[in-house]
């Protein structure tokens, strides 16, 4: 059985004061013991969050990391080794906002994924299609290509120590959620693509859904056979709402 996971991506939100408030809210949550829970604060606040959540079983990750594993001359970047040193255990790779707004391409993301794993971080690979691609019937082709890029470069074995998040771009921050069946169909295709290479890895890897997940729709989404939890944006900035989503992934 795969252990469910719920992760909050705080994106570029927060101030020291609002982060302190959110930490306080998280500390007071009753969290399920059968769900892995993580938050991804902006890098600037990672130390504050790790200190503030001490003793609470919430992992902390970064939203991005460098293409090189170790510290060195790479202005403006943060090395996976530095994230490990800070106490992070996870890192997002290839969020659609970075693919689309920053222009990160598959080649860069392959390097980030490999560098993160080289330091023992668990990469959470984010993949998903735009509305235009979905309407053109290209969803599985696009998602298959994004996933295939890592498989080709690093081998399917890389997914023995990774998580995948399917996040349709049209559902991110829009209030439009993929229906549980739409999400399940893509998750099943992702698992089948991995299974064609290695069925054990395909069965073990956790596939999270992301895109306007709230407490109100989480139970239905997480009830689908290939949806192993969620990557939550806006709703993760509210501790009580996030806690309810975490509980929806339990038992
Ligand atoms: P929302 O939950 O705000 O739609 O964001 C999803 C997301 O992008 C998480 O990485």
Q: Where in the chain are the domains? A: 5-250
pLDDT at position 10, please?
98
Q: Average the pLDDT over 6-11 and give the result.
A: 98
CB 48 within 8 A of CB 23: yes
How does pLDDT run across 54-73, given as a tens digit for each residue? 999 999 999 999 999 999 99
In the residue annotation, 167 being an active-site residue is answered as yes
Its CATH class, for the domain covering 5-250, is: alpha beta
pLDDT at 50 over 90: yes
Ligand 1 pocket residue status of 128, Cβ below 6 Å: no
Q: Average the pLDDT over 11-35 and give the result.
A: 98
Report the percent of the chain where pLDDT is more than 70. 100
Question: In testing the pocket of ligand 1, which one of 6, 7, 9 has its CB within 8 Å of the most ligand atoms?
Answer: 9
pLDDT at position 225, please?
98
pLDDT at position 113, please?
98
Structure confidence at residue 251 as a pLDDT band (50, 70, 90): confident
Sign, CA torsion 233/178/5/70: negative
Structure confidence at residue 175 as a pLDDT band (50, 70, 90): confident
pLDDT at 137 over 90: yes
Structure confidence at residue 248 as a pLDDT band (50, 70, 90): very high
DSSP code per residue over 76-116: T---HHHHHHHT--EEEE--HHIIIII---HHHHHHHHHHH
Residue nearest atom 5 of ligand 1, based on CA coordinates: 233
Q: Average the pLDDT over 74-90 and give the result.
A: 98
Residue 227 vs residues 32, 71, 165, 210: alpha-carbon distances, Å: 17, 36, 10, 10
pLDDT at position 117, please?
98
Structure confidence at residue 250 as a pLDDT band (50, 70, 90): very high
Ligand 1 pocket residue status of 104, Cβ below 6 Å: no
DSSP code per residue over 186-209: HHHHHHHHHHTT-HHHHHHSEEEE
Residue 51 three-state SS: helix
* Distance from residue 239's CA to the centre of ligand 1 (Å): 15
Ligand 1 pocket residue status of 167, Cβ below 6 Å: yes
pLDDT at position 24, please?
98
Round to whole Å and give the CA distance between 71 and 74.
8
Q: Average the pLDDT over 217-233 and give the result.
A: 98
Return mean pLDDT, the chain: 97
In the residue annotation, 28 being an active-site residue is answered as no
Ligand 1 pocket residue status of 211, Cβ below 6 Å: yes
List Cβ neighbours of 39 (8 Å cut-off, separation of 6 or more): 7, 8, 10, 26, 49, 53, 58, 59, 60, 61, 236
Q: Average the pLDDT over 73-88 and give the result.
A: 98
- In a 13 Å sphere around the CA of 211, the CA atoms on its Cβ side amount to 27
pLDDT at position 176, please?
87
Residue 34, both tokens: 């059968």
Round to whole Å and give the CA distance between 6 and 17.
24
């Amino acid at each position: 059985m795969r252990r469910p996971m719920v992760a909050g991506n705080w994106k570029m939100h927060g101030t020291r004061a609002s982060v302190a408030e959110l930490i306080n809210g998280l500390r007071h949550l009753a969290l399920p013991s059968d769900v892995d829970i993580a938050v991804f604060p902006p890098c600037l606040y990672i130390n504050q969050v790790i200190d503030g959540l001490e003793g609470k079983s919430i992992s902390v990750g970064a939203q991005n990391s460098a293409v090189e594993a170790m510290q060195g001359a790479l202005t403006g970047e943060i090395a996976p080794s530095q994230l490990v040193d800070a106490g992070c255990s996870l890192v997002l790779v290839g969020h659609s906002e970075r693919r689309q707004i920053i222009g990160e391409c598959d080649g860069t993301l392959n390097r980030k994924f490999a560098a993160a794993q080289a330091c023992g971080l668990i990469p959470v690979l984010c993949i998903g299609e735009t509305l235009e691609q979905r309407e053109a019937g290209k969803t599985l082709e696009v998602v298959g290509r994004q996933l295939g890029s890592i498989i080709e470069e690093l081998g399917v074995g890389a997914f023995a120590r990774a998580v995948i998040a399917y996040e349709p771009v049209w559902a991110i921050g829009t209030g439009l959620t993929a229906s549980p069946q739409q999400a399940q169909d893509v998750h099943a295709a992702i698992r089948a693509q991995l299974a064609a290479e290695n069925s054990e890895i395909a069965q073990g890897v956790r596939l999270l859904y992301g895109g306007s997940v709230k407490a109100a729709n989480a139970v239905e989404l997480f009830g689908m056979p290939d949806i192993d939890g969620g990557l939550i944006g806006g709703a993760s900035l509210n501790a009580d709402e996030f806690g309810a989503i975490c509980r929806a992934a339990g038992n």
